[in-house]
Every structure is written in structure tokens, then in C-alpha cells.
Amino acid sequence: MKILVGVKRVAALEDDFRIRADGRDIDEEFLTHDLNEWDTFALEQAVLIKEAASTEVQVVAVTIGPGECDEILRACLAKGADRAVRVWDDAMAGSDPVAIARVLAAVARKEAPHLVLAGAQSSDHGHATTGIALAAALDWPHVAVVTGLKYGAGEAQATATRELEAGVLQDVELAVPAVLTIQLGINKPRYASLRAIKQAAAKPIEVLGLGELAVASAQVGVAGSASRVRRMVVPDKGRAQMIEGTAQQKAERLAQIIREYKAA
């Protein structure tokens, strides 16, 4: 069987930073990058299923992005992934989470996995959207924010424990193939050994384009995205205020603040 794990190269801000000239992102020189923390738990869960299996299980790490993303795929190979796949085309620049999910769905159709795992969210944007949009694109069962999983390789069903509001947990049974988005703390991700890191450096990374996945360029990038970043601003400090009065007075004051902000 096969488990597909979606991973992302995420950005982290340094203490001092500058917004890019177009106002839509942070200047690259002020960013550091790493494998998304939530995705490390998803990868570890896939490797645990492989290690407990009596039959052959292949773990495939997949990411969407340019060549710089190879570094996180090699980290996944060092931590137990069997294969690494990267998808990129210049037309994909500016894709929102739903457009990214369309591409991941095309990879899933090509790979035909029994299970797709991904982090519940990314540490940079935190949309928590891609995994669920992927399940919708595939029309597969899904469970989000999974904190526990009972699943043996080759089984037709899985039992996932998901986290709800206020710390409430719920057990959900679902048929596979399915998509699960994994929460922090479900397991203890392993460190890669020096030997594994050296071996990962020598392994190939498969690179796919939109044409190989039969995805039209109009389905990705700005053209294929329903949302986009218009501008980024650093919020002013010390502007918080308590709004007093009745519910109607509070609503009227809030509407006034919004109008003043839009006019500024």
C-alpha cells in the first residue's frame, strides 16, 4: 500500500523585517525556511504505520514549490519517506490553498494512495484549508485536526480522534482511501541520523509539471485562485480600545471605526 504525505516549506520572520516593494509579502532576505512543524507529525504518523505493517508500505512525501523546496523533501527522506515528489510550474506562482489542493489531488490520482496525510495547518499562513480542499477535490472521506489514529496497513477502515473546541475529543470511523490532517502532539517525530541524512542527499527527487498531471494552467496561479493577498501592513501599536454601551451602540461604533479605517 501507499501513503501520500503533503508537506510544505514554510517561512519564519526574523526580528527585523521589511515588507516587499509591492506590499504583498515580506522581503525574502528577512525570512528563514524550514519544514512545516505540523507536517513533521504527519510524516511520522505515516512512518509509524509503515513500521508496524506486515506488508510493504511506501511513504511518499510531496510538496508544491520551486527548487528551493528540495531541502525539505530531503529532510523527509532522512526521516523515513521512501520517495519524494515536487511539483512546480511558473504558472503556479500566486496559487491560493484551494489551487494548491487541486494540484495535490492530481498527484493523489496519479499515485493512487490508500491514505493521504497532511499537517492540520502551516505555521506561516495558518489557513488550515489545503488538506480539506484536497479531500473535497478527491471526493474522499476526511477528518481534520487528528490527535489519534488507529489504522493498520491495508485495512478498509480507520478510526481517527479529532480535536474539537474547548478541548473536546471525538472518535470518527471512516473508510479509506481518506484524507487526514494531523495535529501537533499525535506522536513524537524522530530526529534524522547523520547516516540517514547522507543517504537522503543521494536519493532522487521526482519533479512533475502541470502537463504531467493534466492540470490546466488556468486552474492554478492567480487565475485559478479565489483569494489573493492585496496588501500587508504592520499594525500600529497601542490602538486597542474598549467599546462601551448597548449592543446597538457597540455595533454603530464598530461600523464607524471600519469606515474611518477604510477612508484613511
H-helix or E-strand spanning residue 10:
strand 9-13
> How long a stretch of residues is the chain?
264
Cα three-residue angle 226-17-12, rounded to 5 degrees? 60
In this predicted structure, what is the pLDDT of residue 239?
Answer: 67
Encode pLDDT of 167-197 as tens digits.
899 999 999 999 999 999 999 999 999 999 9
pLDDT of residue 264: 64
> What's the CA gap between 198 and 102, in Å, rounded?
33
Task: Note the pLDDT of residue 116.
Answer: 98
Output the pLDDT for position 247: 94
Can you give the three-state secondary structure of 137-149, one letter per residue? Answer: HHCCCEEEEEEEE
pLDDT, one tens digit per residue, over 210-241 is 999 999 999 999 999 988 888 888 877 766 77
User: With a cut of 70, which residues of the chain have pLDDT below it?
Assistant: 238-239, 264
